[in-house]
Structure 1
Amino acid sequence: MSEQNLPIISFAIGGYRSFGNKVQRFGKLSRINLFIGQNNSGKSNVLRFLHDVYPSWVNGNNSFNLGPLEAHLPTRATFIASSNSISLCKDTQGNFTEFVREISPKIPQDKYHQRWLSLLLNVFLKKSELEGTGEKLWFDFNVNRALITSNWSEAFQVIDDYNFLHLWEALTGQRNGSRNQHWFPETLAYLTPSLAPINVKMIPAIRQVGKQGSASEEFSGEGIIERLAKLQHPNVHNQSDKEKFEKINKFLRNVIDNDTASIDIPHDRDTILVHISGRTLPLESLGTGIHEVIILASAATILENSVICMEEPELHLNPILQKKLVRYLLEATDNQYFITTHSAALMDTPTAEIYHIKLEAGQSITEHATSDKLRSEVCEDLGYHPSDLLQSNCVIWVEGPSDRVYINHWLNFVSQKFVEGIHYSIMFYGGRLASHLSADDEDNSIGDFISLRRLNRRGVIVIDSDKKEKGARINDTKKRLRDEFDSGPGYAWITEGREIENYLKSEVIKEAISKIHPKANINSTFGQYENTLSIKTAAGKDAQALKIGVAKYIVENYGADLSQLDLKKQIQNLVAFIAESNPKISV
């Protein structure tokens, strides 16, 4: 399952349990979606909505209705739900690319195509403005799956009668009609996306391997022995199920760091056996954490192309096990996950979308934690401290996201045995601290950072030298940080060129800049101490190419090249440091 082919791309809730008359919108989803907040904030109600209500509602079940306990009390706010939204964001060139991709196929490909697109874009922007939904356009429905048209009616007022008539004729192939009876309702019906059926399963917080012969439609652990037995010994028509069973075995080996481990279902089907280093043990003898994580991984493997709601997977799992589980879910399964959690470790999942749920004035309110600041606030709300967050075996400190992209790319080229978030973490020191690394003055931010670094001394810091010529010296701030990290057990990596981008070949970075900024001219001649990202815009202004955009383009289109300056030596040193910090891993 790819990020572009998700069963649920967005949804909204109003008038359901703790969600009141202020509709809460979950506008950006991925394969892993986390709902984090204090107890009784409404996290579990999101999963209840997705598991108990959403499938029946979307699938058009005629018997669908809300029970008395599912209404929002005391207001009994009107139930509103949505499964569709359209992005109204502009791309880097100022175009509404996502809007065009969604709407263009629905409009006749005639000579007036662009005209119809422009008219509808104005309508969509107006509705978004009326509802205060920012860069998203939503189709909201009531409990009977009827589209709520109130704001749509006002939004369509931006089109005059002449243009509206011709738009309606182009869409429907009809003629004449009237605005309120025909043009508006029929155009809106034509544009409204259909609600696709989905399969949703729940893995509850209380999990335990069921007894012999147990069966269940749910995935709490009841019936798991029977399910695994069918994977291990499938009938003639399902031989491919053995591959799923082997995936679970591979995951077990990774979890306990033992290549001899495998699970087995005995003839009596009364337990799950684990063969390890010449011994055979029942699964429960390996400890609650291993027992728990195998239940979760097995359920996620048995299910295919499904939406899985998972309650608090971190129970009984240390941070490393939590991260290994999430990595398995992403790489070895093809489901979309909605997870309630109190875990800061899960928040580190690079591609996860995180929503912070709070209870305010008797209603659940959600906030999309899109920035480091918001994620920090989420951690504070949960009562976490920096010491809870730095649990990796070693930390690589970098200035920003583009540095992380390059370093992971280079590390993976040299050794694929190390996994970010498990064997090492990459953390950012940008902002105010970064500004002082390029200046001669120093303030409390340097001391604060050094204090934070002491919470996990196994760290490497990557610092741009900012040298403008050969023989130039680094400033006193960088010297202080270099001395602090070189005191061990980590060290400082100061770039041999001006900055990390000087490790890239000139032809590679030229192509990346031309793809990200096709109308800009490149200023740099790509010397060792030059600003390689310096560009001149089409308006003739000096500017910087988008660092993260350039970085992503390069790693997606080019293999790693360690031939520039001292890069090969630095990456080899970094691999050796990570290996030293993870003694169980052989390089």
Structure 2
Amino acid sequence: MILNNKILVKNYKCFDSSGGGFEKISPINLIIGKNNSGKSSLVDLIRFIIEKKKEIIESGRDNSNPEVIIEHKLTEQEILRAFPSGTSGGGIPGRNFFEYGKQFIDKTYTYKLEEKGKKTFIHLDAEFVTHARKQIDALAGIINEPLANKIFCNIAAERDILPEETNAEIIFTPNGSGATNAIQQIINRTNRDSRLIEQELLNELNAIINPDIIFTRILVQLKNNNHWEIFFEDANKKSIALSKMGSGIKTVLLVLLNLVVRPVIENKNRNSYVFAFEELENNLHPSLQRRLYNYIRKYSENHSSYFFLTTHSNVVIDAFGTDKNSQLIHVINDGDKSNSTTILSYNGTKQILNDLGIKASDILQCNGVIWVEGPSDRNYINRWIGILAPDLKEGLHYSIMFYGGRLLANLSFDFEWFNNEVIPLLKINKNAFVVLDRDGKTMNAKINDTKNRITKEIGENNSWITKGREIENYLSDKTISDWLLDKHGFKTSFTNDKNTKLEENIANSSKTINLKYNLSKTVFSSEIADYIDKDSLAILDLNENLKNLLSKIREWNE
């Protein structure tokens, strides 16, 4: 079901000539980003791909007309149609056209999609002779664009289900208009099967909202103003008007009208539709969000349907963050233009996220990420930041993630290249900073290849390799001495040798100390942090690196 077509829209609303779009199409495509970042513009792009109506992308930018660009891998069947095996000559080399044309199989063919489905060749990722240009151009007309012959089905972020007058026509609109009329028509008209609403839709509704509430009946009643209204009955025969319910029930009902009812009314297979649902989580409790989106996941699997879902919800992002049939598209606006990045689309990437214990939303929705080896590093960095910049708060201005020493070789900050074995951290959140232990036993010890690679990829200004052997070597002698005495009753003349691990330095300071720092680093580092003060920061290059880190955090927060 994955469509390996790259689709871009350029010079449209918030997207400039660099464009924005999708690296491929997955069964479930989650579009995330802040308000006014361009999420709806990507929904417009999908609508244009399907409906090919000019008015969908008529909003140009910078005096340029919008363009929809598609990249496609050529198939043998397409090549055979453009380069028939029974034809030869005309300046095209080889025994016949196909013998020449088969070199283009699996090559990337780029074309522009215009209104009414017109397609124009732009580029082929292979050289071809001038005499073959006619056949190369003809390929544009032979190729089926992605999502061809599908029906676009949209639910807008602004939506409602209201009482309505009778309308002979059943329509499904993005804002919910017509929903009440559709239900009353199906229930009340003899030419409609009322079981579609009274049984099938009601059962699916209960499956999603259970255990919050269970409805035993759905019905419509005509009010005095000639408007129909939807009512639900519970197990106690109590009738509740939909207009008196929260918007969450209305959202679930709209989803089911489009997924369950609409295909029957329009006499179409469920896989005929491409569903674009915007911010369904609005006014939904997290538990109801999970049930609704799980229903969508199963629907996609069972009916081979494609979904494009815009969202702000961390619940939704995490629900699909490791799903093999989904991908996340992050849209970012810098105040002038937007760009989109397809992330978390490879199983290997998602598995490493799991290994790291990281939720997708933790990375995607924070202002910036400081990557450290483990929780003890976090305790020290937060303490240092708290001393020098008390206005900066973790969880508000930055987040701290753990990469774990053994997993460092599986991480990459390379923006351009990654595969199933690495995590594209910069592509997940471009605001990233990494702190690395030097680990060498002398100040002049060679930095290993992995750390050099990380530093090169992310940039020296976005990385910090400790000058001491480990981050604990930035702790002053007084800090550790005071901690050992106050917290553990050990009085000692402590020296924190910069090329030796803290645990060894503690053991070397007194034979009577049996404390093993590495066995309880998280607990001990939390204790030690309380003994760090501003006077204890003048060690090695600590102040210099902290100033650089604080500058980065302020940049992330503008």
C-alpha distance in 2, partners of 1:329/1:66?
A: 26
Residue 229 of structure 2 aligns to a residue in which SS?
Answer: coil
C-alpha distance in 2, partners of 1:384/1:251?
A: 37
Summarize the Cα distance change of 1:310–1:380 in structure 2 as closer, same or farther, 3 Å threshold.
Answer: same
Letter aligned with residue 287 of structure 2? I
Q: Is 1:34 the counterpart of 2:30 in the alignment?
A: yes
Q: Is 1:193 the counterpart of 2:176 in the alignment?
A: no
Where do residues 34-113 of structure 1 align in structure 2 (5 Å cutoff)? 34-51=30-47, 53-57=48-52, 64=54, 70-72=59-61, 75-82=62-69, 84-87=70-73, 99=75
Deviations 1:126-151 (A, max 9, x none): xx5xxxxxxxx432235685544343
Letter aligned with residue 246 of structure 1? E
1:205 CA drift (Å): 1.5
C-alpha distance in 1, partners of 2:195/2:82?
A: 40
Summarize the Cα distance change of 1:249–1:109 in structure 2 as closer, same or farther, 3 Å threshold.
Answer: farther
Residue 149 of structure 1 aligns to a residue in which SS?
Answer: strand
Q: Is 1:119 the counterpart of 2:94 in the alignment?
A: no
Unaligned runs of 5+ in 1: 89-98, 129-136, 162-177, 387-427, 445-475, 482-587
C-alpha distance in 2, partners of 1:86/1:71?
A: 25
Q: Is 1:17 the counterpart of 2:13 in the alignment?
A: yes
Pick one of 378, 382, 385 that aligns with 2:365.
Answer: 382
C-alpha distance in 2, partners of 1:19/1:149?
A: 22
1:105 CA drift (Å): 7.9
Q: Is 1:331 the counterpart of 2:310 in the alignment?
A: no
Letter aligned with residue 234 of structure 2? I
C-alpha distance in 2, partners of 1:274/1:9?
A: 44
* Aligned residue number for residue 179 of structure 2: 224
C-alpha distance in 2, partners of 1:100/1:81?
A: 25
Q: Is 1:281 the counterpart of 2:268 in the alignment?
A: no
Letter aligned with residue 42 of structure 1? G
* Aligned residue number for residue 252 of structure 1: 206
C-alpha distance in 2, partners of 1:109/1:385?
A: 56
Residue 307 of structure 2 aligns to a residue in which SS?
Answer: strand
Letter aligned with residue 250 of structure 1? E
1:354 CA drift (Å): 1.2
Residue 301 of structure 1 aligns to a residue in which SS?
Answer: helix
Contact in 2 for aligned 1:35/1:355 (Cα 8 Å): yes
Residue 287 of structure 2 aligns to a residue in which SS?
Answer: helix
1:246 CA drift (Å): 1.3
Where do residues 331-480 of structure 1 align in structure 2 (5 Å cutoff)? 331-332=298-299, 334=303, 335-347=305-317, 348-349=319-320, 350=323, 351-360=325-334, 362-370=336-344, 371-372=349-350, 379-383=362-366, 432=405
Q: Is 1:151 the counterpart of 2:134 in the alignment?
A: no
Deviations 1:439-463 (A, max 9, x none): xx9x99xxxxxxxxxxxxxxxxxxx
Where do residues 504-515 of structure 1 align in structure 2 (5 Å cutoff)? none
Deviations 1:366-399 (A, max 9, x none): 100124589967644534999xxxxxxxxxxxxx
Summarize the Cα distance change of 1:105–1:281 in structure 2 as closer, same or farther, 3 Å threshold.
Answer: farther
Residue 271 of structure 1 aligns to a residue in which SS?
Answer: strand
Contact in 2 for aligned 1:203/1:218 (Cα 8 Å): yes
Q: How many residues align?
A: 349
C-alpha distance in 1, partners of 2:328/2:57?
A: 29
Summarize the Cα distance change of 1:149–1:291 in structure 2 as closer, same or farther, 3 Å threshold.
Answer: closer
1:306 CA drift (Å): 2.0
Contact in 2 for aligned 1:36/1:356 (Cα 8 Å): yes
Contact in 2 for aligned 1:36/1:378 (Cα 8 Å): no
* Aligned residue number for residue 209 of structure 1: 161
Deviations 1:234-261 (A, max 9, x none): 644x549627951443332441327952
C-alpha distance in 1, partners of 2:203/2:40?
A: 31
Letter aligned with residue 119 of structure 1? Q
Contact in 2 for aligned 1:248/1:298 (Cα 8 Å): no
* Aligned residue number for residue 270 of structure 1: 228
1:358 CA drift (Å): 1.0
Contact in 1 for aligned 2:215/2:234 (Cα 8 Å): yes
1:81 CA drift (Å): 0.9
Letter aligned with residue 290 of structure 1? I
Contact in 2 for aligned 1:244/1:301 (Cα 8 Å): no
Contact in 2 for aligned 1:319/1:345 (Cα 8 Å): yes
1:316 CA drift (Å): 0.3
C-alpha distance in 2, partners of 1:67/1:46?
A: 11
Summarize the Cα distance change of 1:250–1:430 in structure 2 as closer, same or farther, 3 Å threshold.
Answer: farther
RMSD (Å) for aligned C-alpha atoms = 4.7
Q: After superposing the two structures, state which structure 1 stretch, 223-232 or 368-377, moved more.
A: 368-377
Contact in 2 for aligned 1:204/1:311 (Cα 8 Å): yes
C-alpha distance in 2, partners of 1:56/1:179?
A: 31
C-alpha distance in 2, partners of 1:299/1:139?
A: 32
Contact in 2 for aligned 1:34/1:339 (Cα 8 Å): yes
Residue 81 of structure 1 aligns to a residue in which SS?
Answer: strand
1:45 CA drift (Å): 1.7
Residue 303 of structure 1 aligns to a residue in which SS?
Answer: helix
Letter aligned with residue 364 of structure 1? S
C-alpha distance in 2, partners of 1:247/1:384?
A: 41
Whichever of the two has the greater Rg, that structure is 2
Letter aligned with residue 277 of structure 1? A
C-alpha distance in 1, partners of 2:341/2:181?
A: 41
Residue 151 of structure 1 aligns to a residue in which SS?
Answer: strand
Contact in 2 for aligned 1:37/1:378 (Cα 8 Å): no
1:307 CA drift (Å): 2.2
Q: Is 1:141 the counterpart of 2:108 in the alignment?
A: no
Summarize the Cα distance change of 1:330–1:109 in structure 2 as closer, same or farther, 3 Å threshold.
Answer: farther
C-alpha distance in 2, partners of 1:369/1:144?
A: 31
Summarize the Cα distance change of 1:434–1:209 in structure 2 as closer, same or farther, 3 Å threshold.
Answer: same
Contact in 2 for aligned 1:247/1:332 (Cα 8 Å): no
C-alpha distance in 2, partners of 1:364/1:314?
A: 24
Residue 15 of structure 2 aligns to a residue in which SS?
Answer: coil
Residue 314 of structure 2 aligns to a residue in which SS?
Answer: coil
Residue 355 of structure 1 aligns to a residue in which SS?
Answer: strand
Summarize the Cα distance change of 1:101–1:265 in structure 2 as closer, same or farther, 3 Å threshold.
Answer: farther
Deviations 1:483-519 (A, max 9, x none): xxxxxxxxxxxxxxxxxxxxxxxxxxxxxxxxxxxxx
Deviations 1:141-189 (A, max 9, x none): 356855443434xx55x2457xxxxxxxxxxxxxxxx455x45444x35
C-alpha distance in 2, partners of 1:231/1:67?
A: 35
Contact in 2 for aligned 1:249/1:262 (Cα 8 Å): no
Letter aligned with residue 209 of structure 1? I
C-alpha distance in 1, partners of 2:115/2:141?
A: 21
